[in-house]
Amino acid sequence: MLIRMATEADIPHIKQIRPGIEHERIVHRLEMQAKGEAEFLVVEDQRVLVSFVFLKYAGTLTHPAYPNLEDLVTRPDKRRRGYARALLVDCEKRVKRRGFHKIGLAADPDRADPGRQLYEQLGYQHDGGAAFVDGVYNGVEDWAINMEKEL
């Protein structure tokens, strides 16, 4: 398993992992990475891209004081093999090296959601705020809560 920064050559593979992601969004993330504002990280296993995450150092509008993770996605046929966990641990190390002591992400409000269960296993906690619509995908509202972890 190799964790590395995404490149333009990865764009088609990122689109395969998360169908529907806008090309412009990927390009914008690569531009932010080039400016040092973020890191768009991918996981390769046997030279195949299997997972990715976007680590934004400026945080969010509601939590700007610490970095935030967006779009932690693993190919459906490669889930539950430790790729997401490895990305989370790697992101936490990167954040600590930059001097931050906290990291955040948005998660499904449903405690039974496998992603949320993973985050909680790794020490992420709901920040206490209300659930919110994180986006609308294919006409369906994506509800989320903010979670954070002290590093």
pLDDT confidence tier of residue 142, bands split at 50, 70 and 90: confident
Provide the CA 69 distance to its chain's centre, in angstroms. 4
What pLDDT, on the 0 to 100 scale, is given for residue 45? 95
What pLDDT, on the 0 to 100 scale, is given for residue 135? 79
Q: What distances in angstroms separate CA 9 from CA 40, 65, 101, one per listed residue?
A: 13, 32, 33
pLDDT at 138 over 80: no
CATH code for the structural domain at 2-150:
3.40.630.30
pLDDT at 90 over 80: yes
pLDDT confidence tier of residue 97, bands split at 50, 70 and 90: very high
What pLDDT, on the 0 to 100 scale, is given for residue 137? 75
The string of pLDDT tens digits covering residues 27-56 is 999 999 999 999 999 999 999 999 999 999
pLDDT at 60 over 80: yes
**Which residue type occupies 84?**
A
Query: What is the end-to-end Cα distance of the chain in Å, rounded?
Result: 24
Q: What is the pTM of this model?
A: 0.93
| Inter-residue contact 113 to 134 (CB < 8 Å) | no
What pLDDT, on the 0 to 100 scale, is given for residue 44? 97
Question: 68 or 140: whose pLDDT is higher?
Answer: 68
Ranges of each domain in the chain: 2-150
